[in-house]
Structure 1
Amino acid sequence: MIAEPGKTMELKFNGKIKTAKLPGQKRPADQAVLRMPTLMGVESACKQELTALGFEAAQIAVSDASVTLTVPWEKMPAAVAALNLNLRTAERVLLHLVDFNVQNFADFIAAVDAVPFEKYLDPGYFIDIVGYSRDSKLSSVPALQRLLKKAVIKRLQNYSPAAATCNVNGIWEENRNLGSDRLQFSLVRDKFSLDLDTSGEALYKRSYRPLNHPAPIRETLAAAILYFAHFLPNCENHREVLLDPVCGSGTFLIEAALLLTHTAPGLKRAFRAEKMRLVGEAVFLQARSEAESRSYLYSPPVAQQPLYNLLFGADIDKRALKSAQENAQRAGVSAYINWTCADLTAYAPGGIMPFPQVQAAERVLVLANPPYGERLGDEVQVARLHKAFKQLLFQKTEAFAAAAPAPERRQHNYYELKKKYRFSIITHCADLEKQLACKANKRRKLYNGMLPCTLYQYF
């Protein structure tokens, strides 16, 4: 008999018989819930992406660091393929299996015993279980992993169609060479949630950047900042150019080039769901074909508007610049990005851009992720960079500067952004606005790695 939520059942736990009520609610069998974890503050960008992919607002729900999408079960495989290939700001695509409130191990065992794992998992695949517990009565992650793995094996032994071949002498055989199914759980304030990972490697691993540059910005965060800065519509409709004057390994520019060419970020990598029985390779082949047909890299339009001389990157570090160029080449977008080695603090005082095309442009978006003084640089270097941004992009508000005495000017918003520029900078430095002597038009709280940061936007 298959246990169902809401029913009671007897369990033997620590040698004692206990009666447990199965917590949670039964999910409709004809609906699938896909969950996309995001970095904190990036949720709205992920929702925007889902809408652009054709999903309706009623299907989408947003919570802290997570966006969920509900689709009919028969459309789940195609949705999994499309999301993995196309999403730029999500960290993973997870198939949500169950959630329930639990405060003791007897109820936990009863609840996970009722999950039909045989419906979701691949016979013979290795079962990998990861997760965490926070602010909950059940705090031992190893114990939760052990009990969950035991429940999974028990279900598969009893109900899997492949039980006759995989269950050898009472032992369920797992083979990593066949593949792996990754179950991911969270237990937060006594609420347990369980998902099946369809991505494999995290989605920010686009395959174009090896991890050899100090303190790079994550690709998913860079893509979200491009959304927040309204890069694509301004670039396509107004020929606004993009400059990153401290480009490092080139993440902003490569993500911008992928956006500009309408190229899905996952086209050059593989996903776990391609080998999963629930999804499979066929739907990914179809989704890849559709994504390639939209990309200017794979299917250039007949009347394509010139996309060159729109993206520019500069950095003082020649090695970082070489790494950025190699990354762009791996991503297939090197032809769309212009690079130069230049010191921001050297050219900023004269207000001369390191590229003549940027100097002559009518509209310029300057995007920057400079050192914060935490992982790279120190406070003096950070202040010098901020001063350079001020010299390059801002000008005095002459009426206020002339009228106010010097001590008062130092405490007020007496600089303004030059007319042709928009400026977005992410930093951990709390004194940025004071150092620029100009309050941002918009601020957004984000995390870069584990560092709480702010995206300051001037326009």
Structure 2
Amino acid sequence: MSQPIKLIATAAMGLESIVKNEIKQLGYENIQTENGRVMFDADLAGIARSNLWLRTADRVKLLMDEFNAYSFEELFEQTKALPWEEWISKEGFIHVVGKSHKSKLYSVPDCQSIVKKAIVSRLQEAYSLTSRLEETGARYKVEVAILKDKVTLSLDTSGSGLHKRGYRIGQGEAPLKETLAAALIQLTNWTPDDPFVDPFTGSGTIPIEAALIGQNIAPGFNREFQAEEWDSIPSTVWEQALEEAEDLANYDQPLDITGSDISHQSIEIAKHNAMEAGLADLINWKQMQAKDFMPKSEKGYLIGNPPYGERLGEKETVEQIYQDLGHIMSSYPKWSVYIMTSYQDFEKQYGQKATKKRKLFNGFIQTNYYQYFGKK
């Protein structure tokens, strides 16, 4: 399997360009960006490295092929023509998931069933089996995605979504996905030498992601991936990728990161999560209201995901929070402030027009990321 392979990093809407940058930094080329996914050329090591390092992607899939299919027969034959035996072991457990949009083959259960039959048929021939497959071994999740009659067949290498870093043992009411938290940080010019504050920290996700970025710790370092079980990828590939991650981590980098929240319970959860991530001593946690925040340095970065005021009776409280924050930060013009909220009149309440605005989705909620650049 020395020949190049194609990988797909899936991404939440609006984060594709950030995922593309991360892939570039890993040294991969021929990167194509589409809605919700970024495709790139890699090698076997790329499966391990991209799973370990991509902070803002949802998962990494191995592209088997793309082709047009207008009948079940075409779908079967073209699926069967692919070298599944190069990836799936004789005992492999094959689980097919699917989706179809604006295509002649619109019945997803039928498409899944046909793809599974085609793969099984191919493996039986490849492994000279007369009986059915045992399917007692490693798990292989195959996705058949059909869009306007174009079929994309891929194997999921990640398993659990990449936002599951392995450190979150507790979470608040509306937890921010780790991948989105990392994106919020990467959309700023923050460097590990700058003070960093999140005054609405909830379960601590933004400061924890900042600490991981600050010390260049691979976000997937503490977890396992589906493809680690595959015989087709030698264990040395994973060992080398982990070794590289260990070598590149800068555990000596001093950090000035603070996470605060009005809720005592949230701060306790955040402390536990930071401890689980191995970052207990790197982040300062404080229970306090946002209106009591006082920057200790002339310049720094404030990044927050405050309440949006979408619940009944919350609007006035939230407006007050935004007003208080704007009032405080107006005395610190060299601080850069980044706030994500779905509240439409944020700038009016904050008292200043943002330098830049970016549309982002927090789950299914459309938000704006208001960016105020500090004076140089």
1:110 aligns with 2:77: yes
Deviations 1:368-397 (A, max 9, x none): 1012234798322321221222122136xx
Residue identity opposite 1:383 in structure 2: E
Give the drift of 1:30: 3.2
| Residues paired across the two proteins, number | 373
Partner of 2:301: 365
Partner of 2:327: 391
Q: 1:91 to 1:375 in 2, by over 3 A?
A: farther
Partner of 2:114: 147
SS at match of 1:231: coil
Give the drift of 1:363: 1.1
Moved more, 279-288 or 245-254: 279-288
1:208 to 167, 181, 184: 167
Partner of 2:145: 186
* Cα distance between partner residues in 1 of 2:99 and 2:324: 44
* Cα distance between partner residues in 2 of 1:390 and 1:277: 56
* Cα distance between partner residues in 2 of 1:113 and 1:291: 37
Give the drift of 1:147: 1.0
Partner of 1:23: none
SS at match of 2:162: coil
Give the drift of 1:145: 0.9
Give the drift of 1:190: 2.1
Give the drift of 1:107: 2.3
Give the drift of 1:211: 5.5
Partner of 1:285: 239
1:295 aligns with 2:295: no
Where does the alignment leave 5 or more consecutive residues of structure 2 unmatched? none
2:135 to 161, 174, 199: 174
| Same amino acid, percent of matched pairs | 37
2:226 to 272, 275, 297: 272
Partner of 1:252: 206
1:100 to 52, 67, 73: 67
Residue identity opposite 1:344 in structure 2: A
**Does the 8 Å CA contact 1:440/1:456 hold for their aligned counterparts?**
yes
2:290 to 330, 339, 344: 344
Deviations 1:279-300 (A, max 9, x none): 2321111111111112134xx4
**Does the 8 Å CA contact 1:80/1:279 hold for their aligned counterparts?**
no
* Cα distance between partner residues in 1 of 2:280 and 2:316: 34
Q: 1:456 to 1:66 in 2, by over 3 A?
A: same
* Cα distance between partner residues in 1 of 2:59 and 2:231: 19
Partner of 2:340: 426
* Cα distance between partner residues in 1 of 2:151 and 2:169: 35
Rg (Cα) greater in structure: 1
**Does the 8 Å CA contact 2:260/2:285 hold for their aligned counterparts?**
yes
Q: TM-score, normalised by structure 2?
A: 0.94
* Cα distance between partner residues in 1 of 2:300 and 2:124: 62
* Cα distance between partner residues in 2 of 1:198 and 1:376: 42
* Cα distance between partner residues in 2 of 1:372 and 1:122: 49
SS at match of 1:130: strand
SS at match of 1:426: strand
Moved more, 321-330 or 44-53: 44-53
Give the drift of 1:230: 1.9
**Does the 8 Å CA contact 1:273/1:280 hold for their aligned counterparts?**
no
Partner of 2:25: 52
Residue identity opposite 1:36 in structure 2: A
1:199 to 151, 158, 163: 158
**Does the 8 Å CA contact 1:316/1:344 hold for their aligned counterparts?**
yes
* Cα distance between partner residues in 2 of 1:181 and 1:388: 52
* Cα distance between partner residues in 2 of 1:49 and 1:127: 30
Partner of 2:48: 81
Where does the alignment leave 5 or more consecutive residues of structure 1 unmatched? 1-28, 396-417
Partner of 1:320: 266
Q: TM-score, normalised by structure 1?
A: 0.77
* Cα distance between partner residues in 1 of 2:41 and 2:26: 14
* Cα distance between partner residues in 2 of 1:106 and 1:45: 39
SS at match of 2:281: helix
Moved more, 283-292 or 112-121: 112-121
1:130 aligns with 2:94: no
Residue identity opposite 1:424 in structure 2: Y
Partner of 1:38: 11
**Does the 8 Å CA contact 2:170/2:273 hold for their aligned counterparts?**
no
Partner of 1:16: none
Q: Which runs of 4+ in 1 moved over 3 A?
A: 374-377
SS at match of 2:58: coil
**Does the 8 Å CA contact 1:371/1:377 hold for their aligned counterparts?**
no
